[in-house]
Amino acid sequence: MRLVVDLNRCQGYAQCAFLAPDVFVMHGDESLLYSPEVEEDRREDLARAVAACPVQAIVVDANFPDTNSGTDR
Amino acid sequence: MTEAILRQIIDYAHRADPYPLYAELRQTPVYHDADGPFVLSRYYDIQSLLHDPRISSDARNLKTPATANPLAAEADEETALPPSFLRLDPPEHDRLRRMTNRPFGPPHSPRRVHEMRGELKDIVSGLIDGIDNPDRIDLVDQFSYPFPVTVICRLLGVPREDEARFHSWADTIAASLDPVPGADTDERAKVSHNARTELGMYLAGLIEERRKKPGDDMLSQLSTAGGPDGVMTTMEVLSTAALLLIAGHETTVNLITNGMLTLLRNPDVLERLRKDPNFAVPVVEELLRFEPPVQLVPQRTTLADIEVRGVTIPKGASLWLVLAAGNRDPDRFEDPDRFDPDRGDIQHLGFGSGIHSCFGAPLARLEAQLALSELARRLENPRLLEDPPPYRQNAVLRGPRHLPIACDGIRP
Amino acid sequence: MSVDGSLDRLKREGRIVVVGASLAGLRAAETLREKGFDGSLTMIGDEPYEPYDRPPLSKQVLLGRATADRTGLPRHRAIDARWRLGVPATGLDMAARRVRLADGDEVEYDRLLIATGIRARPWPQEDEAELDGVFVLRTRDDAEALERSLAQGPRRVLVIGAGFTGSEIASACRERGIAVTVAERADAPLVGALGGVVGRVAAELHRKHGVDLRCGVMVTGLEGDSAGRVRAAHFSDGNTIEADVVVVSLGAQRNTEWLAGSGLGAGPRGIACDAGCRAFDIRGIVTDDIYVAGDVARSPHPLFGYQFLSLEHWGNAVAQAETAAHNMLSDSADRRPHIWVPAFWSSQFGVNIKSVGVPSMGTEILIAQGSRSEHRFTGVYGYQDRVIGAVTFDQTKWLQFYQQLIETTAPFPPASPTVDRRPEGQQPMPADFPDPSVPTHGPTVTLSGYAPDDRRLTFTPARH
């Protein structure tokens, strides 16, 4: 799974680093480092982190169908 | 009509369902009458003020006398301790919060909460195993209450053999936050004061012990760990431990109890949770929006005249930020009065926001997720025996005093 | 809906080509599909990789916490595109609506989005730039190569240029225990973006973490050994530094050369476009089928006197791509302006630096909260008596308040008392930006010109 954190939104609440410490690491009081790609076995922790982010800054791969898109949602 | 709205919110008669009152309150986004507080109830206004450096959490900046605050009695309890970081502004707030965080979370203790998951689960299992009569369970007394106290004991490093004493002090202090009208207030105050003193002396003794022989618990680390911010004084450790106990306990009780109540009122959600424990993640976030354990923040004040929606709030005014009203603001959330864990957008105010956002949030989340998913899984055909259940007096830390439920049995 | 139905036809069976397969290109493609574009979509990228995220390259990747090949951007949705990766675009025929590719192919479009971004400015002496051990850092390949050489434990790394990227590289080196020298032409790191007052705090951070920071010097030459490996650098102050790794971090150049002679208004400062992301041609006439987004664009901003801003910012790329995609599929009345408030972040020496607005327009700064000596503070920038920008060092949670001040053109200095106001925050002081005519390393906002109706002559436009 690929992920990206919109660090413009991030305010350093560190919820992700508490809940998924193998994926998100605080670097100092406020800076966040994260693994841009994580293994499937971290999915549950990652889901907790995504949901807990107070500013909803974590974007994870959507589970999109790989074929024929182009239609609106 | 709006004249009486604050009184109605505080009035116990509306405790079970204050949400229509909050909706009325939102009609006057900056509500103020006579010498009462300025009350903010819209999502964006609250969100913005929580990030506004002209707003102080330090009671010393209040101009209005405390008696003018209708919640003064329950908001503040006289203690001999210095104010905790909850009631301080930066830089003192930041320094104490950083020091408290050192043994609790990242960057210095990144795995502490994550690694408590096994222990949390054991505590939950133990409490559910202990339910002897499925025909009548008081979820509060038998589950929601003891769970967070036990967690805080483990976190602070209270020896197992002392946990029972710790529980009884915590119960007494909690009861003092929730006075029953007509009871002998002097007597209650005395009992509560004694409990606080005993707890304080107990903790002071424990701190002394841990200074000599530190373990890897939080109390040891709070009293010994140094860093760029220095070491906490004994008084600071005591004040912080008291904050963790009181702020971390009451709120979690309510989160779990409100959670089970809401699930029992929404059986389809409960059923989904029973089948899929991971569903607890969005369920808990939606709960924090729908039934936030801290309904309002009554302790902020203005350092300057500030303008909100054309209304000038004067310097030194008392502010109430009604999180629970903001969480149901239709300008922010579609169909806000519907409990819907599937709404993709749940950016709630349940833990506040800004520098004072809930310190224990990650722990509270895990506790509630585990508690609710395990209750859903193990209670067979659970149902409410009373709806609405009897509520506690407290309008700020709002939640049921008892939650009588029944079920057909307890699954292993 | 379109009067003549052409918009419907575009959505149904049109051809949209996106040149530049990075953050802006990807987000634009996703937005196009989300908005109901059903036609053919071609993504052209000069690198052989699907879109990846660049910020981790100078942080997680250099620290060895992530590998460069695993920085792919997550997908919001499927985009069902034809990918032409590893093939740069080499020309544009505006009349025939065709993009020429390096392999000789031509791709026709009904709408074109240009998001070709920027590249690292190379070391100007070509023979020296080609020495082994001399790096730049912009792409995945750059990061992979640099990380590999850091992992081998060089004796000393020399970073030329103390802008954000250079500072982050130095920070990563120190964290890995590698000796590092930083050479900066200006008086302090970050001065181009944040001014001297804040730059001096940045300098303290460097030195506190053991960086050998040399300011006010230029590197005059790099010297290789007989095997063609870099071994030393000569400084304008007469010093020589021995280093086996040199990272050239002198800012960026815009990828517009491929448009030379096309008739599009593209040049070294980027591609000028209107607030709706439509590119101007060289006659100053706005095109209706060519859009621009991301680092390569320069567009007028209403909050900043309609100056044309080029923003090398992650968030700008996302927002501008979304606006461009929306406008490509909209009638004129439904189009939106791109009015994103500039914002960026940097993480170095364990400190989170964030900024909103355009600090580099500021003439004064007020330390509104916190203290520079603690390396935790909020600086507010003023320009012509209004708040124009703000920066925080480890005080992010206050930043949105100052952003609101910028958005509402609040007066400077902000009058009200705040929490954590220290004695040093009682009075504004000169922000101490270097003379804009003197090049500095890597400003992240380039003030690159004026709107035709703006007659105030306050800024010297060109920095490149």
State pLDDT tens for residues B123-176.
999 999 999 999 999 999 999 999 999 999 999 999 989 988 988 888 888 777
The mean of the pLDDT values for chain C is 93
pLDDT of residue C460: 33
Residue B50 has pLDDT above 50, yes or no: yes
CA B126 vs CA B146, B147, B408: distances in Å: 11, 10, 19
Judge: A69–C34 Cβ closer than 8 Å, yes or no.
Answer: no
Q: Is C248 helix (H, G, I), strand (E, B) or coil?
A: strand
Interface test with C, best of A8, A9, A72 (most C CBs within 10 A): A8
Residue C462 has pLDDT above 70, yes or no: no
A54–chain B Cβ distance below 8 A for any pair: yes
Q: What is the pLDDT of residues A54-63, one digit of tens each?
A: 999 999 998 7
The mean of the pLDDT values for chain B is 91
Judge: C394–A28 Cβ closer than 8 Å, yes or no.
Answer: yes
Q: What is the dihedral of CA C15, C16, C21, C23, to 10 degrees?
A: -150
Interface test with A, best of C13, C318, C344, C347 (most A CBs within 10 A): C347
* Residue B196 half-sphere exposure toward CB, CA atoms < 13 A: 21
Neighbours of chain C (3+ CB pairs under 8 A): A, B
Contacts of B105 in chain A (CB under 8 A): 14, 17-18
Supply the DSSP symbol for B252. H
A22–chain C Cβ distance below 8 A for any pair: no
Cα C383 from chain centroid (whole Å): 23
Residue type (1 letter), C98: R
Neighbours of C324 (CB within 10 A): 31
The structure tokens listed for C300 are: 């007028």
Least confident of B125-129, B243-247, C313-317: B243-247
pLDDT of residue B82: 76
B44/chain A closest Cα distance in angstroms: 13
B97/chain A closest Cα distance in angstroms: 11
Least confident of B240-244, B306-310, C171-175: B240-244
pLDDT of residue A66: 37
* C379 vs C416, more confident: C379
Of residues B91, B304, B354, nearest to C397 (C-beta): B354
Residue C138 has pLDDT above 80, yes or no: yes
Q: Which of B130, B75, B14, B119 is nearest to B321 (CA)?
A: B75
Residues whose CB falls within 8 Å of the CB of residue C392, separated by 6 or more in sequence, listed in order: C352, C353, C354, C355, C377, C378, C379, C398, C399
Give the pLDDT mean for B212-236.
90
pLDDT of residue C456: 32
Residue A69 has pLDDT above 60, yes or no: no
Interface test with B, best of A19, A50, A73 (most B CBs within 10 A): A19
Supply the DSSP symbol for A37. B
Give the pLDDT mean for B55-60.
93
pLDDT band at C261 (very low <50, low <70, confident <90, very high): very high
Residue B283 has pLDDT above 70, yes or no: yes
Q: Which of B43, B50, B48 is nearest to B289 (CA)?
A: B43
pLDDT of residue C53: 97
Q: Nearest residue on chain A to C60, judged by CA atoms?
A: A33
d(CA B326, CA B305): 23
Q: Which of B220, B118, B200, B105 is nearest to B159 (CA)?
A: B220
d(CA C36, CA C83): 20
Residue type (1 letter), C260: A
Residue A1 has pLDDT above 50, yes or no: yes
pLDDT of residue B65: 59
d(CA C23, CA C322): 11
Q: What is the pLDDT of residues B62-116, one digit of tens each?
A: 886 555 566 654 444 445 677 889 899 999 999 999 999 999 999 999 999 999 9
Contacts of B304 in chain C (CB under 8 A): 415-417
d(CA C374, CA B170): 38
Q: What is the pLDDT of residues C1-46, one digit of tens each?
A: 455 689 999 999 999 999 999 999 999 999 999 999 999 999 999 9
pLDDT band at C451 (very low <50, low <70, confident <90, very high): very low
Give the pLDDT mean for B29-58.
95
Q: Nearest residue on chain A to C347, judged by CA atoms?
A: A31
Q: What is the pLDDT of residues A4-58, one digit of tens each?
A: 999 999 999 999 999 999 999 999 999 999 999 999 999 999 999 999 999 999 9
Which residues is B273 bridged to in the sheet?
Answer: none
Judge: C70–A11 Cβ closer than 8 Å, yes or no.
Answer: no
Starting from the edge strand earliest in sequence, which strands make up the sheet with C270-272, in order?
C266-267, C270-272, C297-301, C307-311, C445-447
